Amino acid sequence: DHAGIATQLMVERQLASEGKKRTAMGREKFIERVWEWKKQYGGNITNQMKRLGASVDWDREYFTMDENLSRAVREVFVRLYEERDADGNRLIYRAKYIVNWCPRCETAISDLEVKHEEVTGKLWEIRYPVVDESSEGASLRDAGPQRAAVPTEFITVATTRPETMLGDTAVAVNAKDGRYTHLHGKKVLLPLMNREIPIITDELAQPEFGTGAVKVTPAHDPNDFQAGLRHNLPQIDVMDEHGVMNANAGPYAGLDRYAARKRVLEDLAAGNFLVGEKEHKLSLGKCDRCATVVEPRLSEQWFLRIKTLADKAIAAVESGEITIVPENYRTIYLNWMNNIHDWCISRQLWWGHRIPAWTCTNEACKEVIVAREAPTQCPKCGSGNLEQVSDVLDTWFSSGLLPFTTLGWPEKTRDLDVFYPNALMITGFDILFFWLARMIMFGCHFMQGHTQDAAVKAAGGDSAAKNDAVPFRHVYIHMLVRDADRQKMSKTKGNVVDPLEVIARFGTDATRFTLAAMAAPGTDVAFNESRTEGYRAFANKIWNAARFMFMNVDRIEPGLRPGTAEGGCLHMGVAGFQATSLEDRWILSRFNRVAADVNDALATYRFHESANRIYDFFWGEFCDWYLELIKPRLNFEEGGDKTAAQAACANLVALFEASLRLLHPIMPFITEEIWQAVYEGNAPSKSIALAAFPQADEKQFDLAAETEMAILQDLIVSVRNLRAELKVENKVKVPVEVYAPEPAIRKMIEQNRGAVERLAHAESLAFTKESLANLSSVRSTARFDVRVIYEAKIDTAAECARLKKELERLEKAISNGQRQLGNEGFLAKAPANVVEGLRKQAEELAVLRDKARSKLAELGC
């Protein structure tokens, strides 16, 4: 979008560096200059999106200042101006009101654009002399200034902005405050200005605070403004749009507000009016864009009467027609929406949508005309001299319309039928109120009565949704990316992480993976480079695994493609996969599980879970185990079977291809590259992005294979452990003995003895009839004992230490288990599978404990 105030600021800075000023240039020339700037920098965003691999319908690129969108903005403005609420008030109105004013940007800004900062400032106490009524009359004027020098009574007020006293038009006390009852109806003489102002009674003054008396400056404080209206007080504006004191400030005119503050304080002190100066904590409002301290300023602005729109926006979320993830933002949203104030939508800027309103320049008429197109003549007085209001609209006014204006509104378009309501809005929490809230308000209001195309609605699974006016059905709120130290990125701090730079160093895929893996809902991402380094290594791992695959395909069966039989690989998790071995059955089962988990994680916006799940599968299971396990079959030249090698190769390709599809949303580039290579130019679709996302087939879950494989892995790891402890040299293969009392398990190990020998670096594998638990160089599990036969001196002390630690752990676990299993409450209330699991575990732990005990006895420690 055109980002009115931000963009104008950027161009102003650019001009400043050339020694030029916006005001000297004139509106037209300046806007031309902004367009130039936009042309130059707007492309950066597009470029970043492309480099990030965003999948975007580029034909639908839009800009909020385009003519079609601008026309929609005017349409909305006019409709809101013409529409009246239940009380008969226009939804858009113009009013003279205290608004937040940025003296640097020289414009009004909305409440949201003010950032409050807690600072320790000063609270000054000033005493105002009470006018002595006994000397009322001619003598008052005659006596002149000297009269103030001998007052009899004072009333003391407190302020954090003493310069505003120049615009005071009253002093307020609370009617219930007995201390001031005698002063009701009297006047004080405003120091420095020598102006008599009344003492009024108003709720504004709270007896508990300070002295209980408060100065009233209707033109410079929102509360005072209201009080002023209640008491018909004059509004004396003492500053101009730059925050410089004006003629109303008398001798202080021309001074900047802070210089004036200093002088006022000095003068008050000199006149003996300043009676106190205390440290005081206050929240200082600063301009969101340029950090200048905001000044409450009386000015004529356009407002949107928000309640009508807000009510609909509340209903849409409360009813669940719009869902928000993470859920706590729902409360935040509703809380804000329920306490919303009218929205100041006019800005005294040049860059933006100019308000479609004209004023008749005829002094006697001054009619305001709001219209879609420029009127030629005043409908009231007939004058042809009309001038368009110079204000522009708040950027968010137009941004808030995007869900429907980008689809062609106010025309009735096919796009609106199909795409409205949008399915999902993804946006940052920092613009929840600025943007999201406004989109919901505008959408619900202007699209009321809209009905989405029934077929599209059903296809999206939203056929039961009632309210099609909502701009989108689901909202995903993402957090901020911070720097590695959790600091908010800022140009002034110089800690901005430029995505393009990260991409240049680590690659897009690694960058995307980092963001995905760290995107736990509701948590900021501390962008940590070491993490990205790790994911670059992952990309590298994928690449090398692909090399391995291609190497084997080229050698074993050149031209091999993933299965594309009926239904095609596109609709199945893994097509053409023929499980012929334990590892085949295992990996197929594991793949389907990961596919199930990833789909589930994505459906619930748990992106980090999906990323981590694929990572663990691909690296920890597919590469670390499966590829290692099938190597003997692939290497048929070493006395194997070529047919088996071809089958293994086909499985490898099928599984890899499916994994690529699963990985593609997070790592689009590497997966596309390998996928295309797999098909050697004959891919079933133009891009992997168009291939179906793998779905889990629960029939492929194979619990038996997973259990068996786990035992095999245990066995291999146990041998590796023993080798490491015995410090067996890497090249040396050692004989291994296994005791496996259960015949089925023994058989399974026997069938996979080759795998054990190879992956555990064993010379041979033999089965024993007797338990090995008490022998040395043994590792035991509940299913098997395994022993490495190696003539190395065992470090008895180290082995004892290890066993003792192990025994300690086991005993603790056993006693925990016993306590639970002996607990009637547990047996009665815990689910059966939990109890059963614990029983089984207790048995296994007991076996292990016995083994460890007897082993310790054997070693004599």
DSSP state of 465: -
Angle at Cα 838 formed by Cα 836 and Cα 844, nearest 5°?
105
Residue 383 or 707 having the CB closest to RNA: 707
Residue 206 or 682 having the CB closest to RNA: 206
Spatial separation of the C-alpha atoms in residues 103 and 647, rounded to whole Å:
76
Find the shortest distance in angstroms from Cβ 816 to RNA: 5
Q: Footprint of RNA on residues 628-647 (CB under 7 A)?
A: 628, 631
Q: Footprint of RNA on residues 816-845 (CB under 7 A)?
A: 816-817, 820, 823, 825-826, 829-831, 834, 837-838, 840-841, 844-845
By CB under 7 A, name the one of 35, 93, 619, 790 that touches RNA.
619
Find the shortest distance in angstroms from Cβ 282 to RNA: 4
Number of residues lying near RNA (CB under 7 A): 94
380 binds RNA (CB under 7 A): no
Cis bond upstream, residue 410 (ω within 30): yes
Instruction: Tell me the one-letter amino acid at 853.
Output: R
How far is the CA of 500 from the CAs of 172, 504, 773, in angstroms?
59, 6, 58
Find the shortest distance in angstroms from Cβ 783 to RNA: 12
Distance of CA 17 to the CA centre of its chain: 34
Spatial separation of the C-alpha atoms in residues 284 and 609, rounded to whole Å:
42
Is the CB of residue 296 less than 8 Å from the CB of residue 243? no
Please name the residues in contact with 124: beta carbons below 8 A apart, sequence gap of 6 or more: 158, 159, 160, 162, 265, 268, 274, 276, 277, 278
Is the CB of residue 83 less than 8 Å from the CB of residue 448? no
Question: What is the x/- site pattern for RNA, positions 415-454, by CB under 7 A?
Answer: ---------------x--x---------------------
Question: Residue 787, class by beta-carbon neighbours within 10 Å (0-12 exposed, 13-18 middle, 19+ buried)?
Answer: buried
Find the shortest distance in angstroms from Cβ 117 to RNA: 9
By CB under 7 A, name the one of 111, 311, 462, 697 that touches RNA.
111
Please name the residues in contact with 191: beta carbons below 8 A apart, sequence gap of 6 or more: 126, 128, 129, 148, 165, 268, 271, 273
Residue 11 or 549 having the CB closest to RNA: 549
By CB under 7 A, name the one of 102, 112, 516, 788 that touches RNA.
112
By CB under 7 A, name the one of 627, 645, 666, 773 that touches RNA.
627
Region of 34-42, 112-120, 259-267, 565-573 interacting with RNA (CB under 7 A): 112-120
Q: Footprint of RNA on residues 667-706 (CB under 7 A)?
A: none
- The partner residues of 227 in beta bridges, in order of sequence, read none
Q: Footprint of RNA on residues 456-495 (CB under 7 A)?
A: 484, 486, 488
Measured from the Cβ of residue 23, the count of other Cβ atoms closer than 10 Å reads: 11
551 binds RNA (CB under 7 A): yes
Q: Footprint of RNA on residues 508-547 (CB under 7 A)?
A: 518, 520, 522-524, 526, 528, 530-531, 533-534, 536-537, 539-541, 544-545, 547
Residue 160 or 682 having the CB closest to RNA: 160
Residue 433 or 675 having the CB closest to RNA: 433
Buried b (16+ CB within 10 A) or exposed e, 807-816: beebeeebee
Find the shortest distance in angstroms from Cβ 296 to RNA: 8
390 binds RNA (CB under 7 A): no
338 binds RNA (CB under 7 A): no
Q: Footprint of RNA on residues 139-168 (CB under 7 A)?
A: 157-161
Question: What is the x/- site pattern for RNA, positions 234-263, by CB under 7 A?
Answer: ------------------------------
Region of 114-122, 383-391, 647-655, 688-696 interacting with RNA (CB under 7 A): 114-122
Q: Footprint of RNA on residues 705-764 (CB under 7 A)?
A: 717, 720-721, 724-725, 730
Residue 693 or 826 having the CB closest to RNA: 826
Spatial separation of the C-alpha atoms in residues 658 and 674, rounded to whole Å:
12
Find the shortest distance in angstroms from Cβ 628 to RNA: 6
By CB under 7 A, name the one of 624, 697, 811, 858 that touches RNA.
624
849 binds RNA (CB under 7 A): no
By CB under 7 A, name the one of 282, 789, 807, 846 that touches RNA.
282
Question: Residue 149, class by beta-carbon neighbours within 10 Å (0-12 exposed, 13-18 middle, 19+ buried)?
Answer: exposed
As a residue count, the chain comes to 861
Please name the residues in contact with 668: beta carbons below 8 A apart, sequence gap of 6 or more: 53, 55, 508, 509, 512, 689
Three-state SS string over 137-189 comes to CHHHHHHCCHHHHCCCCEEEEEECCHHHHHHCCEEEECCCCHHHHHHCCCEEE
The helix (H) or strand (E) run that includes residue 630 is helix 628-634
Residue 447 or 653 having the CB closest to RNA: 653
Find the shortest distance in angstroms from Cβ 627 to RNA: 4
By CB under 7 A, name the one of 215, 445, 450, 783 that touches RNA.
215
Region of 136-144, 204-212, 304-312, 704-712 interacting with RNA (CB under 7 A): 204-212
Find the shortest distance in angstroms from Cβ 494 to RNA: 17
Q: Which pair of tokens denotes residue 118?
A: 């807690």
801 binds RNA (CB under 7 A): no
Residue 222 or 410 having the CB closest to RNA: 222
Cis bond upstream, residue 665 (ω within 30): no
Find the shortest distance in angstroms from Cβ 616 to RNA: 7
Residue 796 or 815 having the CB closest to RNA: 815
Spatial separation of the C-alpha atoms in residues 131 and 532, rounded to whole Å:
74
By CB under 7 A, name the one of 232, 339, 376, 492 that touches RNA.
339
Residue 422 or 612 having the CB closest to RNA: 612
Residue 32 or 808 having the CB closest to RNA: 808
Angle between helices 642-663 and 607-615 (to 10 degrees): 160
800 binds RNA (CB under 7 A): no
408 binds RNA (CB under 7 A): no
Please name the residues in contact with 194: beta carbons below 8 A apart, sequence gap of 6 or more: 145, 148
Residue 12 or 163 having the CB closest to RNA: 163
Q: Which pair of tokens denotes residue 138?
A: 């001619």
Region of 22-30, 186-194, 348-356, 618-626 interacting with RNA (CB under 7 A): 618-626
Instruction: Tell me the one-letter amino acid at 559.
Output: G
Spatial separation of the C-alpha atoms in residues 392 and 347, rounded to whole Å:
5
Spatial separation of the C-alpha atoms in residues 192 and 129, rounded to whole Å:
11
Per DSSP, which regions of 429-547 are E strands?
472-478, 481-482, 525-526
Residue 344 or 389 having the CB closest to RNA: 344
Distance of CA 107 to the CA centre of its chain: 29
Find the shortest distance in angstroms from Cβ 838 to RNA: 5
Q: Footprint of RNA on residues 571-610 (CB under 7 A)?
A: 606, 608-609
Helix (H, G, I), strand (E, B) or coil at 72: helix
Region of 217-225, 299-307, 408-416, 671-679 interacting with RNA (CB under 7 A): 217-225
> Of the candidates 226, 223, 221, which has an alpha carbon nearest to the alpha carbon of residue 239?
221
Find the shortest distance in angstroms from Cβ 492 to RNA: 14
Q: Footprint of RNA on residues 117-136 (CB under 7 A)?
A: 118, 123
Find the shortest distance in angstroms from Cβ 286 to RNA: 11
Is the CB of residue 299 less than 8 Å from the CB of residue 238? no
Spatial separation of the C-alpha atoms in residues 830 and 351, rounded to whole Å:
66
Residue 713 or 768 having the CB closest to RNA: 713
Question: Is residue 577 left, alpha or beta, with left meaning phi > 0 and alpha meaning psi from -120 to 50?
Answer: beta
Region of 63-71, 201-209, 674-682, 696-704 interacting with RNA (CB under 7 A): 201-209
